[in-house]
Amino acid sequence: MTVDRLPPVAPEVTATLVEDLSPRLRKRLDAAVTKLGARPTHRDGDTVTIAVDDESELRLHAPGGVVATVDAVTCGCLLAPACVHRAAAACAAPTADPAPEPADRPSRAAPEPASATDPGSASSPEVASPAQRAAADALWSAGAAVLEAGVDGAGAVTRSTLLRAAHTARLRHLPRAAGAALSVVTLLRAARAGDPSYRTADLVTALAELLGTAHRVGTASGAELAAVRGAARRPYSPDGSLRLYGLFTEPVVTDSGHGGVRTWVAGSDGRLCTVGDVAPGGVGRALGVADRAVRLGDSALTHRELGRAGLAVSGATVSPDGRLGAGKGVKAVTARGAAWTEPPLAALWETPPAEQAARALRSASRYAAPDGGGSDLLFLDVELLGAVRESGGTCLLARCEGGMCVRLTVADDDPALAHRDNLTLLAAAPGARLRIIGRLVPALHPRLTLLACSHPTGEGTIDLGLDRLRRADLPDPAAPVHLAPLQPEGSGAHSPLYLLERRVEQTVPAGRAALGMLGDVTAETRRMRRAGLPTAAGLLTALCTSAAQRDRDLFGRLLPADTDGFATYWLAAARYTADVAESLCAAAWQPTQAR
C-alpha cells in the first residue's frame, strides 16, 4: 500500500482517533502504521478498503475525496471501534487541505472583533484574543516537541498533537499558523516514510514558519497581526473586463496527494494571473487535467491551449494572489494570444534580472505574508552553457544579462513529469539562446527552477513539466550532454554562515539531544567572528549550550529539558540564517561589473 492510494483525511479526524486510543495502544501506533502500510488496498468509488488480515477489513469512506468524519473510518476486527487500526490508517493517509471557499461567495477580509463572552470568536484588529493566544501557545508547544524529538522520535502521536493544535488554530481564525503546522506534519510523514522528494531544508523552513508565526501571535498588533493571522478564504473582488494572454502551464503536485495544473496568463498591463485546477489525485491527475477545458466562462480552451492563446473576460473576479474566479457572472471567450517577443508579454523580459530577483526575494521570504501573483517568477534571456554536477544532482548552467551565470534546476523530480528529461536534453545544446521563465530559489548564487522556455528551434514555447523535447528539436541532435566548467562564485558562496546553518538543520533529524553531544564549538565560532559574523557566533554558542543543558534535582535526578528555551534559540538561529542568506542571494544577483 502507498500513501497515494489512501484518500486525504481531515486533521481533526486523525487527531480524534489517536486521542481516543488507550496509552497502551498509543505505544503500538507507529508499528501499526508500518504494518498496515504493507497490506493490500482496494478502491471502489469513494471507499478505500484495506485488508487488515485474512478475516478483517478496514474502510475509509471519502465522499468528495476527503475523509471528513470519524465515523467514515470503520474496522471489522473484534476490538473495533477501540482498535488501533482506524488511527493507524488515518496516520498513514495524507492530511487533507482545508476546503476552499467558492470563488463567488462573499467573505470578510478579517474576522470581527471578539466579544467578552465568546472565547472562541476572532480577535479585534488590534490584539489577539485570549483564545487565539492559547491556540498559538499550543502550536508552539507542539512545534517545540518536534524539535526535542527530531524526525526519528516524532511518531504518529506527536503528529496527531500537531494536527489537533492546527485544527484548533483554524477554529480560532489563525489559518497561517494552522497551515504551517499541516506542512510540518506532511514533511514529517514523508521523512519517516523515506520519500525521495523529502528535503531536510523544507522541514527546517516549515518548523521556523510554525514557531515564528505562533510566537508573533501574542506580540503582534494592527496590520502586523493581520499578516500573522493570515486569511482562511480567498476573497475574490470584481475586476471588470480583462484581456489576457497565455504564458505557460505548470503541473502542480502537492505533498498532501493533490494534483492538477496552473496556467499563467498576463493582462494588457503586464499583471500576472492564474487559472488553476487542483484536486486530490497526485501526478496522474496533473497530467490528465492539462488537456481538460479551463473552468472559466464559456471558453473551450484546454489548459495547454490557454498557455499559448488568449482570453477576453468580462465580469472577472480576482483574488489577492492573482487567481481568477470562475463564478456564474464570469464570461470568457477565446481570443488571439501573443508571442513572448510581442507586446504586452515582451515587457516581462525587459526588467533587469537584479530587480526581478529582489522582487522575488520579498515574495519568497520565509517569514513574510505570502502575496502570490507570480512575484516569485523571473523572466530571463539566457545562453545555455551546459550541465554542472552538484552534490544534489545535475543542473543546467546558463549565462544571462551582464555575464551573470544562473543555475537552472528541475521544478519536480517525479519521473512521470517531463522536467528532468527536458533539462537533460537542453544540456546537450550549449550555445543555444532561449527566453526562459523560472522560479527563484534562494541560494548563495543565482538559481532558478526552470518552468518554461522558448523552443530551441525558435518556433513556439515549451511547458517543461508537460511537453517533452526530442533530440530532433536540438540544433545538433547528435550532440552529447555538455559539461560546463565551474564558474567563479561571489564571496557570499564561501561564507562561514553554513557553520550555523548545518547545526540548525542537524537538530531536525535527530532532535535536541544530538546537538547537545557536539561538544566544543569554539573553533567554529572563532571562524565566524573573523568573517564578520559575531551574531552568528553568539547564536551558535547559545544554541549548543541550550541543547546540552540538563539540570538535576536535589537527589541527582534529571529534570525535564527546557524545550521552550531551546526552541527559542533554534528559531532565532533559523531566522538569522534565513535573513543573511537572503541578503547574500540578493547580492549574488547584482550585475557582475557592479560587484
pLDDT per position as a tens digit, 503-524: 999 999 989 988 888 778 899 9
Distance CA 361, CA 42 (A): 45
Report CA-CA distances (Å) from 476 to 306, 396, 427, 436, 456: 31, 17, 12, 20, 10
Largest interatomic CA distance in the chain: 81
Looking at the chain, the domain(s) classified CATH 2.40.50 span 351-487
| Domain 351-487: CATH architecture, name and number where available | Beta Barrel (2.40)
**pLDDT of amino acid 99:** 55
- Would you say residue 106 has pLDDT above 50? no
Residue 490: per-residue pLDDT: 52
CA-wise closest residue to 481 among 422, 436, 404, 400: 422
Q: Which residues contact 504 (CB under 8 A, 6 or more apart)?
A: 204, 543, 570, 573, 574, 577
| DSSP line for 363-395 | HH-TTSPP--TTTTEEEEEEEEEEEEEETTEEE
- Of residues 133 and 1, which shows the higher confidence score? 133
Helix (H) or strand (E) holding 471: none
pTM of the model: 0.78
At 528-586, the pLDDT tens digits run: 999 889 999 999 999 999 988 877 777 777 777 788 999 999 999 999 998 888 888 88
Q: Is residue 74 a contact partner of residue 86, using CB atoms and an 8 Å limit? A: yes
Q: Determine the pLDDT at residue 150.
A: 93
As a whole-number percent, the residues of the chain with pLDDT over 90 amount to 49
Sorted by sequence, the CB contacts under 8 Å of residue 18 that are 6+ apart come out as 26, 29, 87, 90, 91, 156, 157, 160
CB 514 within 8 A of CB 147: no
Q: 9-13, 227-231, 516-520: which range is least confident on average?
A: 516-520
pLDDT at 325: 85
Give residues with Cβ within 8 angstroms of 507, minimum separation 6: 147, 150, 514, 515, 547, 570
Instruction: Return d(Cα 161, Cα 19) in angstroms, integer.
Output: 9
- Answer yes or no: are the C-beta atoms of 388 and 423 closer than 8 Å: no
Say whether the peptide bond before residue 344 is cis (omega within 30 degrees of 0): yes
Looking at residue 118, its pLDDT comes to: 46
pLDDT tens figures, 185-225: 989 988 888 877 788 888 999 999 999 999 999 888 888 88
C-beta separation of 423 from 408 below 8 A: yes
- Cβ atoms within 10 Å, residue 322: 17
Instruction: Report CA 163 to chain centroid distance, whole Å.
Output: 17
Q: In terms of DSSP bridges, do strands 447-454 and 405-410 run parallel, antiparallel, or are they unpaired?
A: parallel
Which single residue is written with the C-alpha cell 546540552?
548
Give the number of other CB atoms < 10 A from CB of residue 38. 7
Q: How confident is the model at residue 492 (pLDDT cuts 50, 70, 90)?
A: low
Mean pLDDT over all residues of the chain? 85
pLDDT for res 109? 38
